[in-house]
Structure 1
Amino acid sequence: MFKKSLSLVLYAHQEYMHHVDDESHSQWHKSLFPLMTNMYIPLLQAFENMEQDNVDFNVSMVVTPVLCSMLKDPILQEHYIVWLDRLIEFGEAEIKRYESQPLLKKNAEMYLDKLLDTKEYYQNILECDILKKLVYFADKKNVELLGTTATPLFLPHFADFPESINAQIEAGLISHKHSFGIKPDGFWLPFMGYVPGLENYIKLYGYNYTIVDTHGLLFAKPVPKNGIFTPVRTKNNLAMFARNYDSYLEGCNDCDFFQSDNYRCEERDIGYEASKEDLSELLYADGARFETGFKYWSRKSSTEQVYNPEVASQQVQIDAETFLNKNAKKLEEAEKICNTNVSLIDTLYLQDLGRNWYESVEWIEQIFRQANKREDIQIEKVSSLINNPYTLQEVKPSISAATPSGYGQELLDNSNSWMLFYVRKATERMLDLAVRFDENTGLKARILDLAAKELMLAQSSDWAKLVHLESNADFADERFRMCIKNFTTVYESLGANQMSTAWLTEIEKQDMLFEWMNYRFFSPKR
């Protein structure tokens, strides 16, 4: 009997949100802090629970350099604890408010207990360092951490700028070593955007495998004899896997496995429903409302049904079993046809799951717990699926991307195409600066490093994605323009040989990430 394996690849990312003094304008509270509370910290706690129960789990993860930078930011860490304290105080008031409504009070007590536990775990166990715990599990061989680019740019858009692709991959590799202290084996293609030739850049930096979208391999030449169920290799011996076509696609919220009526309704939050008097201690100075995480209703829309966490947990177990059964059946059929070891790669986008499915971490944990008791399927890290890359079938993968269109068209449409014009022009200018000022040090090198950082932030396709989705589009538009403006200021200052140290210091404080940045990443490789 051949081995039938499933690999889960968890992708953790967050659009860069710079520090501002006025908390009422901070995006952290609206997006990153809820994800830390509902996804990243509970996921580490789930790993610890499985470790304590001797449940064997193997998972591959991508934690992008942008997210790593924010999670390590001491200002953000301080703000997060203050934010938790405000919610804890609010939770105590909620319990009093629902004294006469036992079902709602029970949920309020549950949320308060979770907030208290989260604060205790974050401050005293993690010591405000989420990444350190990931390193712990990586050292124990439970977690495999993949590398990626410094910012999630859609690489096919820059295929004619080899120095820029090299710079992004090299900066991403250095970030990985700074954050985790280990060299990654696998490379994550942002948006799984692939065009022929990218394998040369990836292999150049010591990566051994990457993952493309399903049709990237199914349309390869020659057609892979085992389809997506075994890895293949490119001419330069970079192993390639294909995403399971049934797995979760970034930005899609209609996946079957989190649509049960028993799950918590994510659209209804007391932060938007309660009166301003009840929220007086929580609202910002300008009166702006935001999600509190206190959500009392189930997804059942026909009635005002109070959320029942016990019933939701039972549904999680059912859905985890359904997920494993579906993949086990697919692998069993593939084994009969391929007559060899077969595998599937399922990708899960934690940012989307954390926003749309409260029970998602519990579901992930249940997948591992149930898989431990089964013989028809085993969960392995992606790197474990490669025995000898030189024996894999050699193919030429097809152009592809893991977007609804399959080719990244959403990142270049009439709503956001103007962005690419500006960022490509800035890229041309950065390559020119890297050649003209190759040997500079001191203040000039410092301002060139800032230019490289601002360009990489502008190159991120996050902004185009948000504009296309009309989700936080104003923030994306403003952030992109700011990066281009900052880069252009540097470019023109260098041309005029006039640099303001006060302005430089202000921007460096505003964008406190990539402290290891070196503008020579963009220099031609000799």
Structure 2
Amino acid sequence: MANGALALVLHAHLPYVRSSLPGSLEEDWFFQALIECYLPLLEILETAHQDPVSRPKITIGLSPTLLSLLNDPELKRRFPDWLNDRLRLIPQAPESLRDAADHLAETIERHQRSWIGCNGDLISRFVLLHKQGIVDLLTCGATHGYLPLLRQNPEAIRGQLRTAVREHQRLLGERPLGIWLPECAYYEGLDYWMRDAGLRYAVLDGHGLLHARPRPRYGVYAPICSRNGVAFFGRDSDATLPVWSAKDGYPGDPQYREFHRDLGWDLPLESLQPLGLNEPRPLGLKLHRVTDHSFPLDRKEPYTPAMAADRAQQHAQNYLRGRRLQLERLNQAMDAKPLLVAPFDAELFGHWWFEGPMFLGELFRQGPEEGVKFTRLRDVLANAKQLQLCDPSPSSWGQGGFHNYWLNDTNAWIVPEWERAADAMVRRSSRGVGRESDLNLLKQAARELLLSQSSDWSFILRAGTTTELARDRVKRHLGRFWTLMKAIDGEALQDDWLKEVMTDDPLFPLIQPLDWAKIQT
């Protein structure tokens, strides 16, 4: 009899990076995630389901912005050309990288066939896995807004959550029960608005449970229930660190593919110009291995696929044995079956760590032999007899477990802008509008407000990467919001401006401005 279970939880999310310009950096983000993460993840899960030995069970959150990108017909139309452009570049790799180049081309072509086979409909494939009992699909905040920083206006929280639930139901066919809270961030009272949206469970970082009141009897090894009737699961650091850490964990192994060395930096400019590029940039074509962390990128050695595959098999076995021993120890100390919750960004598997999907496949293949049972969060709750009543602690899975990564001297300027816009949205939504044309303007204003609230832009500003892009995105969405609000009050719009905005940001067709109406207390 199993000593407990392991719940793998993946959070699949991208900000709304839809661009009207083919070949943009934002478009690259999405297409690279498709070929490196989402298509490989589906392949692994579908293959494991066909294996009579494997017992795959996993929980995956699909954010509403990611679903919008996956459902976008224009992006679906462009993706095959994007793949073909890269397939044409791979043969230009140096001869010393031929094995790695051939392997990469074969990998892309395999996923290309998978894309064609489903006509680009990845959403239906996730839904089927959900119906087969393999995947438990969660939602997220509508645009991944960092909810503790939006709490000044409870209506903004309600708008994020209700819009997310509505979009999940529209695209996946049923209302979600669980949510991946953006950045696993929680504040006191958030569970009230989760329940209001019909959401019944979520994952928090470990201290969200360990500092709950009263302190949970089983720590992070069993879910708790808040006084508003929402269940919370806690992240187990022992089950996540070996996978999460690029420095001390598996992804940093010398045999694995190096993320930062890209053929796009090495090819001559004349090879890139047919793609519309006038300067080198990463193209998702990586042909070197980690080698040694101390080596500069120009000293990285060629990637050897067979050696990396062997290492992934070994690391999966090592991980499973560690979890089995952990569960055995916990089982001896608890009078209930322990649960290990291991949450990760889905993009770790395949994008950041190329062998990550292979590692997952090995987990499912080797799990029965190693004595580790996998489960989904909804199955845990369906089989639970009674949960301890506790109030979770404010927390996030950011640095130190606090909110400072999304509120600091690089990005704090955004918060009062959010509050000012949310105040205006609440006032206008509470008053209502008199014409259908104004209602359409208000709906678009709600979209722009939501898009400005994405935590991704705050994260990028703090990380110091593509900061100009992040700053421009926030200002663009807020600028559009205020222009739309003025138009409702009678100010004329420039010719074709509204058409351009609605073409750029057409997501959430069922959005309801009443979600932002003033809450009566």
TM-score range, shorter chain: over 0.9
1:166: which partner in 2? 158
Q: 2:347 matched to 1:351?
A: yes
**Alpha carbons of structure 1 residues 120 and 2: separation in structure 2 relative to 1, 3 Å:** closer
Q: Structure 1 residues 305 and 459, CA, compared in 2 at 3 Å: closer, same or farther?
A: closer
8 Å CA contact retained: 1:222, 1:395 = yes
* CA distance in structure 2 between the aligned counterparts of 1:127 and 1:450, rounded to whole angstroms: 30
Closer/same/farther in 2, CA of residues 288 and 518 from structure 1, 3 Å limit: farther
Partner residue of 1:319 out of 307, 312, 315 = 315
Whole-Å separation in 1 of the counterparts to 2:158 and 2:283: 40
Change (3 A) 1:380 1:515: same
Q: Deviations over 1:298-326 (max 9, x none)?
A: 43366653211111111101111222222
CA distance in 2, matches of 1:191, 1:112: 34
Of 440, 444, 452, the residue aligned with 1:458 is 452
* Cross-structure match for 2:258: 265
Q: How does 1:32-431 map to 2 (within 5 A)?
A: 32-54=30-52, 55-94=54-93, 98=95, 101=96, 104-123=97-116, 125-248=117-240, 253-254=246-247, 256-277=249-270, 279-280=271-272, 282-300=274-292, 304-375=300-371, 377-387=372-382, 391-431=386-426
Supply the distance in 2 between the matched residues of 1:255 and 1:442 (Cα, whole angstroms).
57
> Deviation at 1:36?
0.8
Unaligned runs of 5+ in 2: none
SS at match of 1:11: strand
Q: How many residues matched?
A: 514
Tell me, yes or no, if the aligned pair for 1:298 and 1:306 is still in contact at 8 Å. no
By how many angstroms is 1:420 displaced?
A: 0.8
Q: Quick check: 2:210–2:219 contact (8 Å CA) kept in 1?
A: yes
SS in structure 1 of the partner of residue 20 of structure 2: coil
Q: Secondary structure at the match of 2:38?
A: helix
In 1, distance between residues paired with 2:398 and 2:379? 27
Matched, 1:448 2:446: no
Q: What displacement does 1:201 show?
A: 1.1
Partner Cα separation in structure 1 for residue 477 and residue 239 of structure 2: 34
- For 1:201 and 1:318, locate their aligned partners in 2 and report how far apart those are by CA, in whole Å: 44
Superposition TM-score, scaled by structure 1 size: 0.93
Alpha-carbon shift at residue 494 of structure 1 (Å): 2.1
Q: Which residue of 1 aligns with 2:506?
A: 512
| SS in structure 2 of the partner of residue 27 of structure 1 | helix
Aligned in 2, Cα 1:207/1:285: closer, same or farther, shift over 3 Å? closer
Alpha-carbon distance in 1 for matches of 2:378, 2:468: 40
Conserved in 2, the CA contact under 8 Å of 1:84 and 1:115?
Answer: yes
Q: CA deviation at 1:285?
A: 4.3
Counterpart Cα distance in 2 of 1:184 and 1:42: 24
Task: Please report how far the alpha carbon of residue 111 of structure 1 lies from its aligned counterpart in structure 2 after TM superposition.
Answer: 1.5
In structure 1, list runs of 5 or more residues that go unmatched.
Answer: none
Give the secondary structure class of the aligned counterpart of 2:44: helix
Report Cα offsets for 1:233-285 as digits up to 9, x if no partner: 111222211111235589974451211111111121121023334x2465424
SS in 2 for 1:262: coil
Whether the 8 Å contact between 1:463 and 1:480 is mirrored in structure 2 is yes
The superposition leaves residues 414-448 of structure 1 with CA deviations (integer Å, 9 ceiling, x where unpaired) of 000001111111011110110122x5442111110
Q: 2:239·2:323 contact (CA, 8 Å) conserved in 1?
A: no
Contact 1:17 1:27 in 2 (8 A): yes
SS class of match (1:391) = coil
Cα separation, 2, equivalents of 1:368 and 1:44: 14
Code of the aligned partner of 1:402: W
SS of 2:388's equivalent in the other structure is coil
CA RMSD of aligned residues (A): 2.1
* 1:125-155 alpha-carbon deviations (Å, 9 max, x no partner): 2211111110111111111101222111111
> What is the identity, as a one-letter code, of the residue corresponding to 2:505?
D
Q: Residue by residue, what CA displacement relative to the aligned partner does 1:453-492 show, whole Å, maximum 9, x if unpaired?
A: 0000111111101100112211111100000100011122
Distance 1:351 1:2, change over 3 A: closer
Runs of 4+ in 1 over 4 A off after TM superposition: 247-253, 280-283, 301-304, 387-390
Describe the SS at the equivalent of 2:237. Answer: coil
In 1, Cα distance between equivalents of 2:500 and 2:482: 16
- Partner Cα distance (1:312, 1:350) in 2: 20
Shift of 1:353: 4.0
* Contact 2:187 2:395 (8 Å CA) reproduced: yes
Shift of residue 24, structure 1, vs aligned partner? 4.6
Shift in CA distance, 297/283, structure 1 to aligned 2, threshold 3 Å:
farther
